[in-house]
Chains A and B, each alone.
Chain A
Amino acid sequence: VIPFPLEQIANLHRLAPEIILCVFGIAIMAVDPFIPGSNKRVMGWVGLIGTLTALASVGLVASDPGPAYSNLISADAFSVFIHVVVIVAAALAILGSLNYLDAEGAQRGEYYALVLFATAGMGILGGANELVTAFIGLEMSSISTYILAGFRRHDAKSNEASLKYFLLGSFATAFFLYGIAMEYGASGTTKIDGIQSFLIGWRAGHASPPALAILGLGLIFVGLGFKVVAAPFQIYAPDVYEGAPTPVTALLASAPKAATFAVMLRIFLVAFGTTADIWFWAVFLSAILTMFIGNLAAIVQSNVKRMLAYSSIAHAGYVLVAFAAATSVGVAAVLFYLAAYVLMKLGAFLVVTHLGQKGEKRLEIRDYAGLGLKQPALAACFSLFLLSLLGLPATGGFLGKFFAFQAALDLRDPRFVWLVVIAAVNSVIGAYYYLRVIIVMYFWEPSQDYTPTAVAPPLRVALIIAAAGTIYLGLFPGRVLFLAKTAADSLSLR
């Protein structure tokens, strides 16, 4: 007789955010059919309450960190940090979606349910201490977002985005799964700490780590690199980001990236920390390639969503710079970067959500001519997000880059000096296309045929939160940096 696994129930509260998100998601799905079409908007508020409740429950997790579910989940400070980031992102995305879906005539309950499920998946990714658990989290978030990307059912581009994302994403997760299998074959375990101690033990007797484990790690890098949009796995991103409904793009470009980077940190730095000298080159080259592809391609875009898509590719590159350092300082820098990145990227896409207007017709950069005079507040907000993405001081984006560069230089290694110089040059290249939008908004004559409507209150709240957060992180980063450091210390590197 197998005894009832009591200790799993005992630690259930450490999964509280996921449970709450899923309960709310299921509740929305169950209630949705009974809500008349004109009132579907209520489901959005329910979803928002779900995210806020989940956010509150993160506090519960933080008060009693530790393992859960036979150590499959590690509810440590690191996991808490990622939870906060992804849940806040989800809440902002929901706020940005409410009026958008009304305008598009696509107000349906399952939209919010899917956002909640995706967020739960991302939460699992943030806490996963075991590869198959990570896979489950990855699939939960991916499958939900595949559907969300195609939510404008009658739009060809949205369909294309969904299909492309689904096909290529399935490939990527298959790679990830294959990698997990190899890890299991090599080390006999799929636990992060198990692999870590296996490799430490192996290294004591061998000069090089087992080839199978490294091969598996390569496959894992492909699978996760796809999700964080690191080159050379970035091809899909511009099409998907362009085609997906803009609030979905806002979510896609921010939260899943943060969550996937989190699980990458656990796998590469904790489990495979002892082989950092081997995987370093992969990350190093990928970082350089990612930055250059993202920034150079962004220059020639005329569509705002595509431009921001390439910009998020570039930002993945900057994160990889700190990632490559493979130190505790580097992890803290990555976490801080992700927090700042999520706010500014989400903010930028939410502005585009509004500016696109009905049917997403206004997505060319030149459509925004003279916006600075027509809607000063909105244009100022957009400028703030763009300048933060650019890395102007006094914004979160600058400090993200600053800490990332600092972490990389901390090693006093010429390779990292080069990496940082390349990243620095790239951020100047980036300046060109971010500033171009500002040029159009402020320096061009206002376009006559386009007067954007007023920003809806929920979206306005979301924008204010994102903007305030961006400035807060730029001026008073101390608190968040401290949390990021605590989170980094909660990982047992090496």
Chain B
Amino acid sequence: MTRIDDLITALTRTVGDRTVSYNSASAAWDVYEGYAFGLVIRAAVAAGGNVWYEDRFGNAATNLVFRTSPGMLYSVRQPYTHAVIDFRECPLLEAHVGVRVQGKSGVPRGTERGGLAAMSGHRSWTADRKARLADPQVARRAAEARAELDRHEQDYERTLTQLRNARRLTQTQLANMLGVSQAQVSRIENQADLYLSTLRSYIQAMGGELQLHAVFPDGQATAITVNELLEPDHAEPRNPDRAQEDDIHTAFALVHLDVGFYNAAEEEFNAASAA
């Protein structure tokens, strides 16, 4: 009897009464999905949501039953369960594990590997939303929440597609504004490298203004006026006496990107401004 024999015997004795039979890799993944579900519920509660559990038939549940592999939401083979999350001012949300979701393409995709689907489920989302928004107080709170969300959205970096979606515009609508085809808008959004003029037109069509910032290794940042980069001939003549700080920054960034020079010039500008 070697030391290894002793240890394996001890191991067999210790794990002998295991009640979880992970007899496939997918079973191990299921456990992780259960954990991810717990995280979603915790996040929902922390965000002020009320949570309860229901089975496929709308009965309250305390023993949660999920699918071992992605299945259809309407399956009645088992009393599969999900969490219902109520944020009051929003339609009821459901958190599922292992259901197939189907987008506009009509191709169902699994939410396996810890994936969860939060959706309106058995109810009609639109009808539910309309009914709730009929209450003026709910409508006001929803509008406030939307405005708050919009304010937060401005703080995040995002892709052109996300920008357009945030403005509630379709590719076709934006294409009409730009006078190009929808396919061209799609190309712009998926292009790795864009002309500044194309980007400016895209942003302007959404009612925005394109601004560029140069950030230097020492942490200094400066704005660059896009119009000057694109149309130097049409730029307004400079009048040093009336120069704004932004214009000075822009000029220095364009003329000389050397940080030392930039810092010295800015100090001079600040000293002159103070005087």
| A and B from one complex | no
Binding site for B on A (CB under 8 A): none
